[in-house]
């Protein structure tokens, strides 16, 4: 290890994370040069302070800024204990009004519609808003100026230049950035490494290994696999579509995003649905359909459930309920067929957790400045320490001591190498289609495992959306 320089390690880390974001072919700063003028007139009209090197966004230093943060797996301490104090230190005359909620749409959507929105919003959770509709309604601030502004604490670089490649594009619509997808998440099968070591269970690489292990786990009196149907069906949709992506490459998921006819009934999706439908039929506790995610996660902490499909926020979300000796670890979803086009080590990891500034609030520029603080190296490092989750700020957490779950996630990314892929975007682009997928996957997993029914249902919903001229369409290449 001593023969490898720190810069080489940093570069490897950056490239792994760039691959995980999935859009590394186009540098973020290059995209900005093409679109930075797109919202220039609108944002210029909002300037209420004098632009300078110290105040690149032209905020009013005395104007209050209001933020709303989703209180979920990541908690809110990063906002209350890190980001807000940093903002206040920079702008001591500005009051920061903070609200935490688990029902973002209930709290924020009426205010957006009334033109009295908070200035910066974390749009997440089961009650997240339809962000595509927010963009289409002109309620989200064009963040081009934010990404072109100097970094808060990295000299000589713009905000965009401090991020992993693809981070800007992932929050872009029609070539303009409207969201910061801040948290870098690794998705897979989460389990207690201590329980597996105790029982001599080996993490499966193939589907045959997976089902054979599930049989052993079931015989030991433990539920092999579980997720909460009440409010966490999204986890299962991602598991199924990750398997489809491994069977047929990420192009399968791009076709779904692009509403291509036949995308949901493609062989890779049908194969994945068949495989997961069998897991639901044989190894999933039916009562989980009515449970919430924290209830199922608590059962895993009690070693009553072996595998749980989720993202790397899980470890932090369960911190208060995780007993001593419980060691979170993550495994890629096993290969479904012997001819999967991606290897068993391939894993889904991507930037997620939407943060945006409202264009209709009282202080849109204050909202952008708050995001600039969040995208500083210092704030990103403290976020990782508090949440056990990485961010899109490149290299911000290099060299720090991390938790078992995050160590496992990093190890999975390393083993995946070039086979880390982003996944899909339709869930943020088209809320109605996303909602249909939640109901359809629950039906598949809890009510008989009919894969063809799942695929046909989703194909019908996707094509109805494709023909709906009232819905703004997005494309992905």
**CATH at 174:** 3.40.190.10
- Please state the rounded mean pLDDT for residues 227-238: 97
416 falls within a domain? no
Q: Is the pLDDT of residue 202 over 70?
A: yes
Same domain, 249 and 383: no
The predicted pLDDT at position 39 comes to 44
132 falls within a domain? yes
Same domain, 282 and 310: yes
Given pLDDT bands bounded at 50, 70 and 90, which one contains residue 47? low
- Please state the rounded mean pLDDT for residues 348-371: 94
- Please state the rounded mean pLDDT for residues 354-381: 96
Same domain, 331 and 459: yes
Same domain, 135 and 37: yes
- Please state the rounded mean pLDDT for residues 207-213: 98
471 falls within a domain? no
Same domain, 110 and 245: no
Same domain, 231 and 130: no
The predicted pLDDT at position 87 comes to 98
Q: Is the pLDDT of residue 20 over 70?
A: no
Same domain, 165 and 220: no
The predicted pLDDT at position 46 comes to 63
473 falls within a domain? no
Query: Quick one: which of 49, 19, 454, 80 has its CA closest to 274?
Result: 454
Given pLDDT bands bounded at 50, 70 and 90, which one contains residue 401? confident
Same domain, 39 and 176: yes
**How many domains does the chain divide into?**
2
Given pLDDT bands bounded at 50, 70 and 90, which one contains residue 309? very high
Lowest mean pLDDT among 9-23, 120-134, 403-417: 9-23
Q: Is the pLDDT of residue 10 over 60?
A: no
End-to-end CA distance of the chain: 38
The predicted pLDDT at position 198 comes to 98
Q: Is the pLDDT of residue 26 over 80?
A: no
The predicted pLDDT at position 388 comes to 86
- Please state the rounded mean pLDDT for residues 321-344: 98
Domain residue limits at 372: 21-182+349-399
Given pLDDT bands bounded at 50, 70 and 90, which one contains residue 31? very low
Given pLDDT bands bounded at 50, 70 and 90, which one contains residue 394? confident
The predicted pLDDT at position 360 comes to 86
206 falls within a domain? yes
In the chain, % of residues over pLDDT 70: 90
Same domain, 196 and 317: yes
380 falls within a domain? yes
Same domain, 32 and 111: yes
Same domain, 289 and 367: no
> What secondary structure, in 3-state letters, does the chain show?
CCCCCHHHHHHHHHHHHHHHHCCCCCCHHHHHHHHCCCCHHHHHHHCCCCCCCCCCCCCCCCCCEEEEEECCCCCCHHHHHHHHHHHHHHCCCCCEEEEEECCHHHHHHHHHHHCCCCCEEEECCCCCCCHHHHHHCCCECCCHHHHHCECCCCCCCECHHHECCCHHHHCEECCEECCEEEEEEEEEEEEEHHHHHHHCCCCCCEHHHHHHHHHHHHHCCCEEECCCCCCCHHHHHHHHHHHHHHHHCCHHHHHHHCCCCCCCCCHHHHHHHHHHHHHHHHHECHHHHHCCHHHHHHHHHCCCEEEEEEECCHHHHCHHHCCCCCCEEEECCCECCCCCCCCCCCEEEEEEEEEEEECCCCCHHHHHHHHHHHCCHHHHHHHHHHHCCEECECCCCCCCCCCHHHHHHHHHHHHHCCCEECCCCHHHHCHHHHHHHHHHHHHHHHCCCCHHHHHHHHHHHHHHHHCCCCCCCCCCC
Q: How wide is the angle at C-alpha 416 spanned by C-alphas 411 and 417, nearest 5°?
A: 100
Query: Quick one: which of 110, 179, 83 has its CA closest to 428?
Result: 179
Given pLDDT bands bounded at 50, 70 and 90, which one contains residue 29? very low
14 falls within a domain? no
Q: Is the pLDDT of residue 3 over 60?
A: no
pLDDT digits (tens, 9 = 90+) for 54-108: 999 999 999 999 999 999 989 999 999 999 999 999 999 999 999 999 999 999 9
Which of 340, 364, 399 is the last residue in one of the domains?
Answer: 399
**Mean of all residue pLDDT scores within the chain:** 89
6 falls within a domain? no
Q: Is the pLDDT of residue 307 over 60?
A: yes
Same domain, 169 and 194: no
């Amino acid at each position: 290890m001593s023969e490898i320089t720190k810069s080489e390690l940093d570069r490897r880390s950056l490239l792994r994370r760039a691959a995980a974001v999935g859009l590394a072919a186009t540098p973020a700063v290059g995209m900005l040069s093409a679109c930075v003028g797109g919202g220039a007139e609108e944002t210029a009209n909002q300037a209420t302070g004098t632009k300078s090197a110290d105040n690149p966004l032209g905020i009013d230093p005395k104007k209050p800024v209001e933020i709303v943060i989703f209180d979920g797996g990541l908690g809110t301490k990063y906002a209350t204990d890190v980001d807000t104090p940093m903002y206040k230190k920079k702008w001591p005359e500005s009051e920061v009004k903070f609200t935490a909620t688990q029902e973002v749409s209930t709290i924020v959507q009426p205010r957006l519609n009334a033109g009295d929105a908070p200035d910066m919003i974390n749009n997440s959770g089961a009650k997240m808003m339809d962000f595509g509709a927010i963009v289409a309604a002109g309620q989200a601030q064009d963040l081009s100026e934010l990404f072109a502004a100097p970094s808060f604490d990295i000299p000589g670089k713009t905000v965009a230049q401090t991020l992993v490649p693809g981070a800007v594009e992932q929050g872009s619509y029609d070539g303009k950035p409207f969201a910061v997808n801040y948290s870098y998440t690794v998705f897979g099968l989460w389990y207690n490494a201590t329980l597996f070591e105790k029982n001599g269970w080996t993490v499966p690489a193939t589907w045959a290994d997976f089902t054979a292990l599930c049989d052993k786990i079931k015989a030991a009196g433990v539920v092999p696999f579980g997720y909460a149907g009440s409010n966490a069906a999204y986890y299962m949709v991602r598991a199924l579509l990750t398997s489809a992506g491994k069977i047929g490459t990420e192009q399968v998921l791009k076709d779904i995003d692009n509403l291509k006819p036949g995308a949901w009934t493609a062989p890779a999706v049908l194969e994945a649905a068949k495989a997961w439908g069998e897991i639901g039929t044989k190894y999933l506790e039916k009562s989980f359909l009515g449970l919430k995610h924290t209830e199922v996660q608590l059962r895993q902490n009690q070693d009553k459930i072996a595998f749980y499909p989720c993202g790397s926020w899980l470890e932090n979300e369960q911190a208060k309920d995780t007993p001593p000796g419980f060691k979170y670890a993550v495994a890629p979803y096993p290969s479904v067929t012997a001819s999967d086009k991606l290897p068993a080590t391939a894993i889904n990891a991507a930037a997620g957790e939407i943060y945006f500034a409202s264009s209709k609030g009282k202080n849109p520029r204050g909202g952008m400045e708050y995001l600039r603080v969040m995208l500083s190296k210092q704030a990103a490092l403290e976020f990782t320490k508090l949440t056990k989750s990485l961010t899109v700020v490149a290299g911000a957490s290099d060299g720090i001591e991390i938790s078992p779950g995050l160590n496992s996630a990093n190890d999975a990314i390393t083993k995946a190498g070039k086979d880390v892929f982003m996944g899909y975007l339709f869930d943020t682009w088209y809320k109605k289609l996303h909602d249909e997928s939640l109901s359809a996957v629950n039906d598949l997993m809890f009510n008989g495992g009919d894969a063809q029914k799942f695929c046909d249902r989703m194909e019908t919903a996707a094509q109805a959306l494709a023909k709906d001229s009232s819905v703004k369409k997005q494309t992905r290449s």
